[in-house]
Amino acid sequence: MLRSVITAFGLLALVVPAVAAEPGGTASGTIAGEEIELSVWTEQSDFTSSSFSIYFRAPALRERGLGSLSVGAEWIGDLDGGFFSAEIDVPILNTDPYRVYRADLDDELSLTITSASYQGDVLAIAGQVEGVLTSMDRIALRNPDPDDTLSVSLTFEAVLGELQ
């Protein structure tokens, strides 16, 4: 009996990390001062040894006339929160020319990683992103209206599959 219990707990210990490492995740916080809950779009989110890209979606974004929000960053060396590039953008639906709200590190975007660990071929990452995104043409990133902005403050947890 004791041997069966030990074996069962041993098998459970092997299964739990595999379950915990499934791609997915959430973000919560505010967009334009309104509370929002987002989920990770696993089919579009991924990572490499020096970058990650997380796409978040929610019906509440579409209700605001927005597409999927993306957060991406690149680093050199270890993923310790020191980024040489990071950006956040969200498409503005039904615009011609195609427009997005966007910010990067040059626009005082704040991206903080609170935890990150590699678990086989997945990256478990948590953090916060905050900034004021400016509306601009997606092509050539021209900005004819600098007063058209969108404030974003999100806390996120995600498990990302490796870029294939």
Q: What is the dihedral of CA 56, 57, 61, 66, to 10 degrees?
A: 80
Q: What pLDDT, on a 0 to 100 scale, did the predictor assign at position 81?
A: 80
Q: What pLDDT, on a 0 to 100 scale, did the predictor assign at position 96?
A: 82
Q: What pLDDT, on a 0 to 100 scale, did the predictor assign at position 120?
A: 83
pLDDT per residue rounded down to tens, the chain (164 residues): 434 433 333 433 444 344 457 999 999 999 999 999 999 999 999 999 999 999 999 999 999 999 999 999 999 988 888 899 999 999 999 988 889 999 999 988 999 999 999 988 999 999 999 999 999 887 767 777 788 999 999 999 999 999 87
Q: What pLDDT, on a 0 to 100 scale, did the predictor assign at position 2?
A: 39
Q: What pLDDT, on a 0 to 100 scale, did the predictor assign at position 17?
A: 43
Q: What is the domain partition of the chain in residue ranges?
A: 23-161
Which string of DSSP letters, residue by residue, matches 108-133?
Answer: T-EEEEEEEEEETTEEEEEEEEEEEE
Q: What pLDDT, on a 0 to 100 scale, did the predictor assign at position 13?
A: 40
Asked if residue 111 lies in contact with residue 83, where contact means CB atoms within 8 angstroms, the answer is: yes
